[in-house]
Amino acid sequence: MLGKHFTKLVAFSLSISLLFVCIPTAFAAEPNYEVTPGYTIETYYENDVLVTEETWILTPEEAIQELAVRKGWTLQESSAYILSCNTINPLSNTSTYTTKKTKTYTYGFCEVEIGGLFQFTTDGMYTQVDKCLDYWTAATGSGPYTWDEISVVDVNQDKYPWIQIHLMGRGNIEVEIDTSVSPELTAQFVTLGFNISVEIGTVVYLRKTVDLELMQNLFTA
C-alpha cells in the first residue's frame, strides 16, 4: 500500500514540476549562438519549433570511447574502424579529427535528437567529411513521453569523402498526461500539433509524427 501512495506522490510532483518546465520556458527561449574551445551551441526556431544544434570536437580517445559505447564494440575495434575511414595520405600535410554533432527538437517537455559522429580531414584550407562513423535518433528530455523511431538514414552514405553532413530521421512522440493533475497540458500539446490517440479515465495519450533533419554544408557558393 505504501508503494502505491509513493508512486502517486511522485507522479503528482512530476506533473506539477512539468507545468513550470513546459509552460512557459518551452516558448520563451531566445535564439542563441555560443562558441567555446571544442564546443559550439546554436539555438533557433525552425518552422516554429525550438531546435538546438551542438557540436563537439573530440579527442582521439574520446572518439574511440564514444564509438565503442554506441556500437557495443571493444576499444580496439572502435580504434581500428576509425583509422580505416581515413582517406588521406598520412604523409601529406593534413590532420584528421572526429566531431559529434546533434540537433535537438523541443516540443514542450519532449526533446528528440538526431545526431552523428563524423570524421573530418583538413589541410587548413580545404575540409572534407571522410565518413559518418555512426548516427542515431533518441529521446533526450525528461517527462512522461516516449520516442518510437521509424527510420534514420545517412543521406550521403555512398558519397564519402564528401563536403556535406546530411542525416534524416522520422518517428512518433507519444505523451501521457493525467488531466486530473494537469488539465491544461492537453491543450498545450494540441497547439504543438499533437493528436489525441487514446483516453483511459483521466489519462490522455497524445501522439505526433515528426521529421528530423541534420544538415551542414562545409562550403557554400
Give the tens place of pLDDT for each residue, 166-180.
999 999 999 999 999
How high is the pLDDT of residue 220? 60
Average pLDDT over residues 172-197: 94
- Using CA atoms, how far apart are residues 81 and 71, in angstroms rounded to an integer? 11
Contact status, residue 168 vs residue 136, Cβ threshold 8 Å:
no
- Using CA atoms, how far apart are residues 219 and 221, in angstroms rounded to an integer? 7
Q: Which run of H or of E encompasses 10?
A: helix 2-22
How high is the pLDDT of residue 84? 84
Mean pLDDT in the chain? 85
Which of these ranges, 23-27, 97-101, 108-112, 144-148, has the smallest mean pLDDT?
23-27
Is the pLDDT reported for residue 28 higher than 90?
Answer: no
Length of the chain: 221
Residue 132: CB partners within 8 Å, gap ≥ 6? 116, 117, 118, 154, 156, 157, 160, 165, 167
Which of these ranges, 25-34, 171-180, 206-215, has the smallest mean pLDDT?
25-34
> pTM of the prediction?
0.83
Q: With bands split at pLDDT 50, 70 and 90, how would you rate the model's confidence at 164?
A: very high
How high is the pLDDT of residue 26? 40
Average pLDDT over residues 46-57: 96
How high is the pLDDT of residue 124? 81
DSSP code, position 17: H
3-state secondary structure (DSSP) of residue 29: coil
Q: Which run of H or of E encompasses 189?
A: helix 184-191
129: β partners: 120, 162
